[in-house]
Structure 1
């Protein structure tokens, strides 16, 4: 590839990143429904015409932003839901599983702003639903490692309840946006999860069964 096309491609990628960051700010500030391409262009410091060179409308911007955020969260998925983490003492397991997702959601409030929008693009909702189902299944698998005697239905119910608690806690953190509140909500969220899960999966480390 010639040097000039490479430079044009790099400039285009930087401009797309700039527009997506601006869109994330606008979506968080006014919500997806009230946002507009003009507002996103203003936030990015470019003309609407420049924006339209890369995205035909607000929906296309939301779909691309949502796709990148889902991919970023999925990249944490494999690092978190491991058998090694499942066998940790319960408090350490909760830390290992919750901390990466708390950091991601509080660093990317646009993720919740998008999926909570009543008219968010269908592709964003579909990707989120698929991610949601995968996360919930992974939680159920962790629970199964810690307590194999639980039935599949019991594991999924406990996973569903645990995930609902987590989402409620993270929603409070994102709405607040304050670091002091984040620390307090994190402490309360982890305590709630610990008290809920302890009777089902125990509190100590789970040894690997002998062959």
Structure 2
């Protein structure tokens, strides 16, 4: 609904450095407050206090904490985007090495704060900005994984485009689930099992 989406939109888009710094202070403070107090108790008053600004100043930028959380989700997704796949250790090697680099990159991006990640997964409302960011990030990541797999001689799948989509979805959804509650299993075991799963799929009838 358009009215619901308006509730999730930032009120002020910073045009000056000072305003951008204030906006970043609000988002940083909110991340700490949500992680420390949880979402229900993570009030805008607490966020403003942590950011050392007045509640009125906070409301100049965001209408409510739902809009702040939605913006944190957008920032989280954008910070996890690959600017260049060459920054990953994807030099020619075994297929398992390439897959491990992809899996480890996803894990590393979600290590920082399990509590905040869990809140983003469970509580964030899907504003238009969130939906657009997820769609843009997903298309970019699928294209990059497709490019990586297309360059490896050991990949044996019938449809490389579909394979890239399946791998991105499998890696990211399972990584989100584990890192939001890392007590369920060790990260090292999760990484090994997910690498095995994806590698065997890509090898087809070959043995890893």
- Structure 2 length as normaliser, TM-score? 0.68
* 1:21 aligns to 2:28 (yes or no): yes
Listed as ranges, the matches of 1:66-145 within 5 Å are 66-74=73-81, 76-80=82-86, 85=90, 87-107=92-112, 110=116, 113-114=119-120, 117=123, 119-145=125-151
Q: How many residues align?
A: 190
Is contact 1:86-1:143 (8 Å) kept?
Answer: no
Shift in CA distance, 48/55, structure 1 to aligned 2, threshold 3 Å: same
Shift in CA distance, 79/155, structure 1 to aligned 2, threshold 3 Å: closer
Give the superposed CA RMSD.
3.7
Aligned to 1:195: 200
Which protein has the bigger helix share?
A: 1
Is contact 1:172-1:185 (8 Å) kept?
Answer: no
Structure 2 alignment gaps of length 5 or more: 1-15
Is contact 2:142-2:165 (8 Å) kept?
Answer: yes
- Structure 1 length as normaliser, TM-score? 0.67
Rounded Cα–Cα distance in structure 2 between residues aligned with 1:86 and 1:199: 22
The Cα offsets for residues 11-45 of structure 1, whole Å up to 9 and x where unpaired, read as 655543332122224555645x9865334335545
The Cα offsets for residues 87-141 of structure 1, whole Å up to 9 and x where unpaired, read as 3211211222222221112226556744664633211111111101111122122
SS of aligned partner of 2:126: coil
Aligned to 1:160: 165
SS of aligned partner of 1:107: coil
Aligned to 1:171: 176
Structure 1 alignment gaps of length 5 or more: 1-8, 204-211
Rounded Cα–Cα distance in structure 2 between residues aligned with 1:36 and 1:56: 12
Is contact 1:23-1:40 (8 Å) kept?
Answer: yes
Rounded Cα–Cα distance in structure 2 between residues aligned with 1:86 and 1:112: 33
